[in-house]
Structure 1
Amino acid sequence: MAEGLVLERLRITQGDTEMVAVDASVAPGEILTVMGPSGSGKSTLLAALTGTLAPAFTLGGRILLDGRDITALPPEARRTGILFQDELLFPHLSVGGNLAFGLPPALKGRAARRARIETALAEIGMAGFAPRDPATLSGGQKARVALMRSLLAEPRALLLDEPFSRLDAGLRGQIRTLVFERAQSQGLPVLLVTHDAADAEAAGGRVILLGRRDD
């Protein structure tokens, strides 16, 4: 079984217009960066990978994850994690509640789930933060919680939709390093979408350029 994320002759069209054409593989622990101007199809590509592509688009080719064809699977069955520009923490849940949302159903028992949450918070330097309201967190703390929530779901690939773009310069480098190191330590193939050349340089992997300017 081939491990990692494979985009096999992936083509996304809208009517007669080809929006995205990608043929690439991302090995476990590797980071593939996709760059391009606004409207070049980066968000459309991510939608195809997460299973949320709008009906107006047609998808050709295959998406393979650890040898499994996930092209036609619903989002919840794909085992792809994603981080966005905004942390999208649930405001009505505590920090611990947000992390609990990411826990796999197979982890049973309140005590076991609480222990996993406390361990996860300690791993990102936020031990004891479980009862906190997300609104009281700093930008960097929110980013850490969002990352850990995604990882707790045990994804087999991690998609990054410009998750560092709203952080200030000093914090950006810190969180970027955290995300890359955590993904690589868990052997996750990573696909990073970004406008920022510094993100691509920090990722250190291959770069795909998308050039179209109209979605």
Structure 2
Amino acid sequence: MNMKTRMRISGFAVFALFSATALADGLDGNRYGQDRQYHSEISAAQTYIALQHYLWPYDPAQRQPMTIIDVRTIEEYIGGHPPAAYSIPYPHVFNRGKDPNKGEYIAQPNAEFVKAVDALGLPKDSLIVTVCRTGSRSIGASNLLAAAGYTNVRNMWDGFVGLTRKNTLGEELDLNNDGKVDGKDPYSGDLDGWANFQGLPIEMRLDNQRLFAPYASLYHTAKGER
């Protein structure tokens, strides 16, 4: 098999996966059944494919622009995030669990979240993917951006960590096939998010250009978590 044939097959496989995930994402709603004003849902796998089209083409003219907005807290972002994701927390900037041992709880006002996204200077019709831990906080963030005029906002419904999945009988599935279902360990392979069962790349490096500027110092002092 020559190189050109392999490239055609590879391209077809990517197209097929992209199409299949688009159909599987649940265009009629998110996993939490919350009101949706944004464009649609997107899976972690489909987001990863879109990211490749943004990061890797040799010819800049062939790159397909997209932006990942990670709305988890600062400490969650420190614990690992999708490559090239911007950290713009919502609705909690720090200490989501309000644990007094971690320090002050910091909330994120709706207007300040939208203002921070606006500061990126993105076209209103550009692809924006929001991601949180399990796909819940990102729904609210996506709705705010849609209300602000962004027309191509997608919510990553399975999130960075994810949740367990169930079969038609309501039984939790052993996604990683290790003989047990563990839905409590934030690193469990039975959780269906970006970093867990999906096993997609995790970035630990902090790019100062992608951090939430008003609390930039916290990224270098807080303890990371998932």
Superposition TM-score tier, normalisation by shorter sequence? 0.3 to 0.5
Structure with more relative contact order (C-alpha pairs < 8 Å, separation 6 or more): 1
- The TM-score with structure 1 as length reference comes to 0.35
